[in-house]
Each structure stands twice: as C-alpha cells, then as structure tokens.
Structure 1
Amino acid sequence: MRFDDILIHIGEFGFYQKRLYLLLCMPAISVGCYMMMLVILMATPVHRCQIPGYENDTYALQNDNHGLLVNASIPLAAEDEDFLYDKCHMYTCNNGGSALSCPVQNRTRVKCSSWVYDKLTFHETFTSKTNLVCGESLKTSHTQMIFYFGVLVGDLGFGMIADIIGRKITLYVTILILIGSAFGVAWSPTWVTFVILEFVIGAANHGAFIICCVLGLEMVGPSKRVWAGILVHAFFALGLVYLVGMGYFLRDWFWVQIAVVAPCVLFLSYWFVVPESPRWLISQGRYSDADKVIERAARVNKKPLPPSMMKVNQEKNEDSNGRIWHLFSHKVLLLRTLIVYFNWAVVSMIYYGVTMHTGNMNGDFYLNFFLLAIVEFPAYFISIALLDRWGRKRTHCACMLLGGIACICTIFPVIFGGPDLQPLTLTLAIFGKIGAAGAFGVIYVFSAELFPTVVRNAGMGSSSCVARVGGMLAPYVASSGDLVGGKFGKALPLVIFGAFSVSAGLLCLLLPETLHKKLPETIEDGVNFNKGSKKDLYEKSLSI
C-alpha cells in the first residue's frame, strides 16, 4: 500500500499535519528576511566627500535642497540643472587653506578618503560603515552575487544530503549553521569576513527552505498539496513585511540583523517536535520507523488505523534508492526535467527583473519595499484558488503569460509615453510581479509532485539552483538596453523578460498534469507517470 493511500485513511490534513505544517512554515519567515536582507544591509545612502573644516556635514547633506551642494564639491557638469556632484572627488586648496574660500585657480582635484552619509533613511548600513563607495562600490554587487551563489550551493548540496541522510537531520543542521553564521555577520570586522558569512547564510537559509517545503508536502494528502505547497510562500512574503518593519523602526544594519536572527533560536526546538518524513523512511526501507510516525499521526487525528494499513509495500525494488542523475537517465525524465529547470530559471529572472524595475519608483524607500512585499499575498491566494480548478500546468502557464504579457505591454508607455504615463507603467510592472510571484508558488507544487520521492529533495534543490542562475542573469538582462540605446534600448529588457516568460509558460503545457494524482515514489513511477497503463495504478485520480 502506498503512502498516499494511508494518508486518505488517517487524514490528509488532520490536526497532526496542520500543527506540523505551521511549524515548518515558521522558518519561511526568516528565509524571506534573509533573501532580501542585503537590500537593507548593503544599501548605499546618499553621500559625498567629507570636507575638512566644514562643520555639521550630515545636517547640511540632509537639508540641502539638491542633496550634495557644498562649495568644495565638484559638479559633474557646469550646465547640470539637477545639481549632481561628484561623490568620489573633492577640491583641496594648493596653499593649504580651506577649499571653501579658496579661489578656483588654486584648487586641486583629489580622491576622497572619507565620506559623509545621509542618515535620513538609514542611520548606518554595512556599506556606510566600511565605506564601500566609489572605488569600492562594486563590492556591494559582489556581496549579493556571492550570497546567491551560496543559495545555489545550499540548494544543491543540502537537497542531495536530505535525500541521503533524511529531511529531519539535514533541516536541523541548516538551522544550526544559519544561527551561527547570522550572529557572526553582525560582528563582522571586515568585508571579507562579512561576505564569507553571507555565503554560508545563503546556503543554510535556502537549504532549510527547500527541506521545509518538501517535508510539508510529503506529510499531506493529494487533495491538500496545493495549500501545503503555496501557503508557505505567504509566510515568505510575511518575512519581507517583517524585514521592512524592522528596517523602518531600527534604521541600523546591526540591529536589523539581530532582530532577524534572534527568533531563529526558537527553531532549535524542532529536533523534538518535527518527525522524519514517512515517505523518505519508506523509500529507505525503514518501515518500522515509518509505522511509528503513521501511528502517531492517526492517533492525534483521532482516526482508526486497521492493522492491514501498516503493511506497506516492502517488496525489494532496485529503484528504491535514487540519485539526481537518475532524472536524466531516461528520455521522458530528461525532457520533463529540462522543461522544469527552464521554468524555474525564467520565473526567477522575471521575478527579480520586475522587482528591480519597480524598485526604481520615486518615493519613500520603506513604502516602496512594503508595496513590493504585500503584492505577493494576492498572487499566492489566487494561485491556491485556481490550482484545484484549472490544474497545475494551466495555472502555471496562466501566471507566466500574465507576467510576460504585462512586461511586454510596459513597452508602450516607455516608448510612447512620458511622466504622465508613469502610473500605467507601475501598474503593469505590479501585474508582472503578481504573475511572477504566483508562478513561483505554483512551480514549487508542480515540481515536487513531478519528481519521484527518492530524488524529490535533490530535484527540488537542483531546480532552485537553476532558479538562482536566472536571478543572477536578471540584472544583466536589465542592463542590456544600454548597449542599444534610445527608447528601444529602454524597452529591450522588457521584451526579453516577457518573451522568456511566455515561452516558458507555453512549454510547461508539455508536462503531465498532477492534479489529484498520487505522487510517484520510484524512478520507474516517474517514467510511467501519466501513461495510463493498467500497471500504473498509483497514477489514477483519487476519489475526493
């Protein structure tokens, strides 16, 4: 008897699963914080060179109508009507006097050695603390790249480890690593230490998220997998709201870091309350351990469990153990995996690409951040409402088409419009974000249902790795218009985002539908999934 059959009898989403699922969703709040943490920690405040002899620099910087207007600062262009000034150089007086009163002919242009930062939005960031500006400014981009590379490594590494040694042990290891490295970041003395620890945080943080998603899906029945697969992303968005709230009230990178890592200490108690996945235990032949978890779930759910239910299929199957390369061992699995990977990459690309676009809105930093966070909630709940009605692949396709077409339509106000059409541009960009966020939620459910149990964690981890590559490519696509120039150059990135999104959405229609289907357990199950043969009884629709 397969595990899905057992869940139908003991409760697909009873009190036991609800309690466990809520516990597994809580780390997603921290994951959401860390995935966007560097936006605040590495933010570059408005700044200029610190001018010797000029008192109250910070006050002048904040209150000057043009931001950086000081006599000793260097205009980028004399005709610049916006009064933009060079932030990396200043004038010194050749005779040693004050540059403020020195004649122009006696001034010399020199590089800054110290800076003054606007403290209106941020009291201090790691960037302002370590002066990662001017010649050091690329280090902020390097830090984000290394963090997401850590996410990639963690998804792949911890995903495979979880399939080998189990979900529970791997989850606890990631929590320990995350807490240690996150506290260490708050006291990082140098940029090198900071970036190494951020790499570790990226690996442990998202590695834990993948495990929580998979473990949550594996403990619920087929009719409840939609809620289990997408609702966790609402907790991810809740983490973004928590992060912007801490940023708004604390305004200091050190205290924001502490405010995010401190609640993670509570996750240390998970060793005593989170069980191992029964699906994984059965796939490893540990039937007695799986029986204990199933019996406890039935008891808490107050459901009777006949003795015959415990006789899970213990026949030897040479496919009972799987590795990630088995996803490429058959042409059916190969094609299916490549389509899934492509969709993960494009979803990530358009998600971050649209986020970067809307992040350039004028206005309050924290308000813009908040708007970008809350727009994800309707996206996830709309996806939940549609998944059981339209199915996985049609819902995912619709989200991708919505995001892609919204990005493509942004071309028109960009090329033909002006400032008066900016609200329309913003509205289209937000619809693009809704489509991308909804697709992100769907692809987690869709992928987890397509990958067999024996390689599910590895498959999800490798898919998330591909998604990180898409996220890393997003800024390069966004800057591709600079090579073309003109209004078409401004529209080119949107064309690329939209075209990729539409293409990925249409390709996913080649994947089998998983709605109301039992999860494939072995590699053979995955190959035969959706073929409709008599021997593949596991695939037939469940009676709900």
Structure 2
Amino acid sequence: MHFDDLLVEKLGEFGPYQKKTYFLLCLTSISAGFHMVISVFLLGTPEYRCALPGWSNDTFEIQNEAHRQMINLMIPDSTDETLKYSQCKLIKNNISVACNRWVYDKSIFKSTFTSEQNLVCTDELRTSHASMIFFGGVLAGAFGLGTLSDMIGRKKTLYLSSWLLLISTMAVAWAPSFWVFCVLRFIVGFSCAGLFMTAFVLGMEIVGPSKRVWAGVVIEYFFAIGLVVLAGIAYAIREWKYIEIAVSVPSVFFLLYWWLVPESPRWLLSQGRHEEAEKIIRQIAKGNNVTLPEKALVNLEADKSTTGRVWHLFTDRVLLIRTLIIFFNWLVVSMGYYGLSLNTGNLSGDFYLNFFLSGLVEFPAYTLCLVFLDRVGRKKLHVSCFVGGGLACICTIFTMLYADESLQPITVTLAMIGKIGIAAAFAVIYVWSAEIYPTVVRNAGMGASSACARIGGMVSPYIADVSKVVDGHLGRALPLVIFGGFSVLAGLLSLLLPETLNHKLPETIQDGKEFGKKENKYFPSKSYSNQAFATDDNISTTKTESSRL
C-alpha cells in the first residue's frame, strides 16, 4: 500500500494528530517572518546630517536658536528636495567639504546598526550589500539544508536549523563591525531557510493529498503574523539590538520540537527504515483515534523517485518558453514581495503603521487564493493579481510626484493594494508551476524555480534603495514603479502558460510538450479534477521547496 493511500483510507488526511503537528510547524513560519524582513529595522537609515565641529553635545534636533543659527551657518542646503540640509557636507572657511561625523534623527529609530556604524554617504550602499548577503544565505541554506534533510531526515535538519538560528540571531546583536554583521546575517538567512523549508516539507508529508495545497497556503498566514508582530515589537523597542534579541528568544521554543514533532514517516519509508516509520504511523493512528489492522502496514511504500533532470525542460521549444516564463515569474514575485516590505521607509506617513499594514494586507491576499483558486483557475487568478498589483504600484508615481502631502495616504493605499496582488501571486505561482511541470521533472523544476525566487530576493534591496542614488521624490517613487513594471510584465507573460485546473497533469516530457494544446488526445479539456481543495488526489509537493523562502 502506498503511504498516501494509507492516509486517505485508514489514518485520516488531516486528523487531530496532524493538526497539532502542523500547528507546531506553522509556528516556525512566524519566526521566519521576523528574520526575513527585520533588516528594515536593523539597517534602517534615519534622517541625518553632518555633526557640527566643536559641539560635543550636538543633536539632530534643534536645541535652541543659537543651535539653529550654527546649523544654518555650517551645514549647506540639500540638493535633494525632500531634505532640508545636506547629509554629507559641511562648510569650512566658506568651502563645502565632506564630513566624517554625523548626528541622527531619533524620532523613528533610537538606534540602528546603520547609525551605530555610520553606514551613510560614501558607505550608504553597504546596507544594500548586507541585505543581499542575507538573501544569499537564504539561497545557500535552501540548497545546503534542503539536501541535508534528504540525507539525515527532516527532524534532525529542523533541530539543527533551530539551534543555528538561535545562536546566529543572538550573536547579531553583538556584531562589532560591518563584516561580522554580514557573516552572521548570512548564517541567519542560511538557518532561517532550513527551519522554514524543513518545517514546510514535513508539514506537507504528514497530511493527505487533498490537504497539501491548502496546508501550503495556510502556513503563509503565520508568516504574515510574523510581520505584524514584528511591527509591534519594533515600535515598542526602537533599538536594533533589543529588537534582534526580542525576536530571537522565541527560537528557544523550537528546541522542544525534538520531543514534540515526529520524523516524517514518508521520508523513513523512502530510506527503507520501515520499523521506525511503523512506530510513528501507529502514533498518528492513536492520536487520530484510529485502529489500524495488523496487515495495514504490510508492503507499505512511499513516493517513487523520478529520473528527470532540470535540463530536460530545455530540450523542447514549448517547454523552454514555459520554463523561462515560470522562472521569470518566480524571480519577479520574490523581488516584488520583499522589495515592497523593504521599501516601507520611502512611503509617507507613520513608518511603523505602514510596515504593520504591509503585513496585515497579506491576510486578504491568501484568503483570495483560498476562495478563488479552484473557482476561477490558476491563470486568471495569477494574472489578475500580478497585473493588478503591479498597476497599483506604478500608479503611486503620480501621487508621489504631483500630489501634496494631504494626498499621500492614497500612495500608501496603492502600495498596499500592490502588496496584496503580489503576495497572492506568490501563493498561486507555487501551485500553478508545480502543476505545469511534468511529474518526471517536477521536483527539479520547482527547485530551480525556487532558486530564481531567491535571486529576486537578492536583487530587491538594491531596487528598494534606489533613493540613495536618485535624489528627490523621483528616487522615492522609482522602486514602486520598477516593482510594478516587472510585475505587470511577468503577469502578461503568464498568459502564455496553460491553465491546469480540471486538466490531467503531465507525467512525461512528451506529455509536457502536448499539455495545454486544444483538443489534445492526452489532455481533453475539463475531464479531470485537480482542485487544490477538493477531495481528489493532488500532485505531490512533499519534495519541493516552499514558495516563501
């Protein structure tokens, strides 16, 4: 008997035992949400100017009239229309010269790593480099710890990632220099990818086929909870070291998972460790109040491995075009998702409220997926969300450049609509692309797609920080326009991909070539049900990487 058949016919696809375990695994997504976007607060750049020479108690805030006069005398006006004073120059002997000391506005942040290390002026792009290095760690962790989980098991990799995340995140708070900070943040990204991805895969492997896509979307709600909670923590603390410590402490709870979370029985079966798998299966049965017949576990087997390789997707023109479109969609959706989160500081209004809203709007985004994924199809939902979200981001340029401050809430609203669309597209592309890839290369294709997403994450900090190289309102508007423009392009290119709802999914490379053609003898239209939330068997997602990281 196949393990999926055992879940459907005997154990239950999502019984009390699986629900408890799944909930525990979802909690790791909250921690992942913390660390994936915490750089907004660690590397935030407060407003600043050069420190006045000879003023030991100089502050960014005006202390008195004499202080104001001295600032006006020694600090030249800024060429950036959004700033009053030059940030990198002061006047000495009637000559404008570069300075090497700065004072920072403390109204938003009491301190950040950027302000402590003076990563401004000629060093201002170092903050973008640091964010890119973090996402590089996520990329390395996905491949390294993903491979390790296939070798030593999900549970051990989950536990190793928990320890590594706890140690590295706590160490970040005491980073003495920029490069030490970058190395530690790389390790944080590495371990964060391992924690979330392994928990995601383990969660998929213990639920039945008809529940996997549902479970894959629901875990994203917990990621959004992490963003919302992080906004509250950062607002209350406002000092980067203590924010980092506060979001690191919950990782201690994950160390208890060694006793609370079982190894994946599906993985154990794939490794030929049937006795260990049988023990865990009986634990699941007991937790679900199910009595297993003695012969139920005879000849039990897991998924059979496939022989396809990712380069098989490039052997045919149809597969090549579809694969490149999918890769581009994954890159853009990740770039836009993380870019919009990192771009919070460029929006007008309250910084913390904007960040809170950027997390809060993800709840309706994922609800859209749950409600409409099986009603309107993958293509219509993905294209409408991606293009609609992209257009909303593009439209912000009009309010940012031509509207006064009283209309800036419109800018925030448009940016949040863009976040809803892009977050929803992120969830849909995972399901849709997995269904387009033929079975023999599905895992390889999804792994390559996930790598493209992480490359998009590495690019996103540089786009979000365009305002550091382009002055004025234009510099603040460009990131949203770039994210929006790429989103519209990716969404329109998706029109070339076939719809997969109610179609038999391709198994072989030849099936993949024929898939989506009208009146095709292999795939007659609407003859099958592969609804994400129906009771029929779904595609296996147990060995693919999660969409979020």
Corresponding residue number in structure 1 for 2:485: 496
Task: Work out the CA distance in 2 between the residues paired with 1:384 and 1:371.
Answer: 21
Query: How does the TM-score come out when normalised to structure 1?
Result: 0.81
Corresponding residue number in structure 2 for 1:149: 136
Corresponding residue number in structure 2 for 1:51: 52
Task: Work out the CA distance in 2 between the residues paired with 1:212 and 1:68.
Answer: 59
Task: Work out the CA distance in 1 between the residues paired with 2:149 and 2:283.
Answer: 23
Q: Does 1:251 align with 2:238?
A: yes
Corresponding residue number in structure 2 for 1:360: 346
Q: Does 1:85 align with 2:85?
A: yes
What is the CA distance between 1:185 and its match in structure 2? 0.9
What is the CA distance between 1:532 and its match in structure 2? 6.5
Distance change >3 Å, CA 82–CA 215, structure 1 → 2: closer
Corresponding residue number in structure 1 for 2:456: 470
What is the CA distance between 1:458 and its match in structure 2? 6.6
Corresponding residue number in structure 2 for 1:510: 498
Distance change >3 Å, CA 388–CA 157, structure 1 → 2: same
Corresponding residue number in structure 2 for 1:403: 389
Distance change >3 Å, CA 123–CA 327, structure 1 → 2: farther
What is the CA distance between 1:241 and its match in structure 2? 1.5
What is the CA distance between 1:72 and its match in structure 2? 4.2
Deviation string 1:166-221 (CA, Å, 9 cap, x unpaired) is 22222222212111111111111111111111111111112321222222122212
8 A contact 1:50–1:116 mirrored in 2: yes
What is the CA distance between 1:513 and its match in structure 2? 3.9
Q: Does 1:19 align with 2:20?
A: yes
Task: Work out the CA distance in 2 between the residues paired with 1:426 and 1:86.
Answer: 27
Corresponding residue number in structure 2 for 1:345: 331
Structure 2: gaps spanning 5 or more residues: 517-521, 538-549
8 A contact 1:406–1:432 mirrored in 2: yes
Q: Does 1:379 align with 2:368?
A: no
What is the CA distance between 1:344 and its match in structure 2? 1.4
Map 1:421-436; keep pairs closer than 5 Å: 422-436=408-422
8 A contact 2:369–2:424 mirrored in 1: yes
* Partner SS for 2:427: helix
Deviation string 1:135-171 (CA, Å, 9 cap, x unpaired) is 2222111111111111111122222222333222222
Task: Work out the CA distance in 2 between the residues paired with 1:145 and 1:202.
Answer: 10
Task: Work out the CA distance in 2 between the residues paired with 1:2 and 1:451.
Answer: 23
Equivalent of 1:437 in 399, 423, 427: 423
Corresponding residue number in structure 1 for 2:158: 171
8 A contact 1:477–1:496 mirrored in 2: no
Corresponding residue number in structure 2 for 1:98: none
Q: Does 1:217 align with 2:204?
A: yes
Task: Work out the CA distance in 1 between the residues paired with 2:362 and 2:161.
Answer: 26
Q: Does 1:201 align with 2:188?
A: yes
Map 1:250-289; keep pairs closer than 5 Å: 250-289=237-276
8 A contact 1:400–1:436 mirrored in 2: yes
What is the CA distance between 1:525 and its match in structure 2? 11
Letter in 2 for 1:311: V
What is the CA distance between 1:412 and its match in structure 2? 6.6
What is the CA distance between 1:439 and its match in structure 2? 1.8
Deviation string 1:33-52 (CA, Å, 9 cap, x unpaired) is 11111110111112222223
Deviates more, 1:137-146 or 1:382-391: 382-391
What RMSD over aligned residues (CA atoms) do the two structures have, in Å?
Answer: 4.2
8 A contact 2:61–2:105 mirrored in 1: no
Task: Work out the CA distance in 2 between the residues paired with 1:62 and 1:436.
Answer: 45
Corresponding residue number in structure 1 for 2:546: none
Distance change >3 Å, CA 314–CA 114, structure 1 → 2: closer
Distance change >3 Å, CA 322–CA 18, structure 1 → 2: farther
8 A contact 1:450–1:514 mirrored in 2: no
Q: Does 1:320 align with 2:305?
A: yes
Task: Work out the CA distance in 1 between the residues paired with 2:510 and 2:296.
Answer: 24
Equivalent of 1:122 in 93, 109, 116: 109
Distance change >3 Å, CA 273–CA 150, structure 1 → 2: same
8 A contact 1:127–1:133 mirrored in 2: yes
Corresponding residue number in structure 1 for 2:40: 39
What is the CA distance between 1:248 and its match in structure 2? 1.0
* Partner SS for 1:48: strand
Letter in 2 for 1:91: I
Distance change >3 Å, CA 12–CA 455, structure 1 → 2: farther
Identity %: 48
What is the CA distance between 1:226 and its match in structure 2? 3.4
8 A contact 1:326–1:523 mirrored in 2: no
Deviation string 1:492-531 (CA, Å, 9 cap, x unpaired) is 6366324323235324x4264489x9999x9999999995
8 A contact 1:47–1:116 mirrored in 2: yes
Number of corresponding residues? 519
What is the CA distance between 1:429 and its match in structure 2? 2.7
Map 1:329-340; keep pairs closer than 5 Å: 338-340=324-326
Corresponding residue number in structure 1 for 2:171: 184
Deviation string 1:329-350 (CA, Å, 9 cap, x unpaired) is 9769877655543321121133
* Partner SS for 2:106: coil
Letter in 2 for 1:7: L
8 A contact 2:60–2:103 mirrored in 1: no
8 A contact 1:174–1:204 mirrored in 2: yes
Deviation string 1:12-57 (CA, Å, 9 cap, x unpaired) is 1111111011111111111111111111011111222222343642
Distance change >3 Å, CA 357–CA 53, structure 1 → 2: closer
Query: How does the TM-score come out when normalised to structure 2?
Result: 0.80
Letter in 1 for 2:48: H
8 A contact 1:349–1:497 mirrored in 2: no
Deviates more, 1:132-141 or 1:21-30: 132-141
Letter in 1 for 2:25: L
Task: Work out the CA distance in 2 between the residues paired with 1:226 and 1:73.
Answer: 61
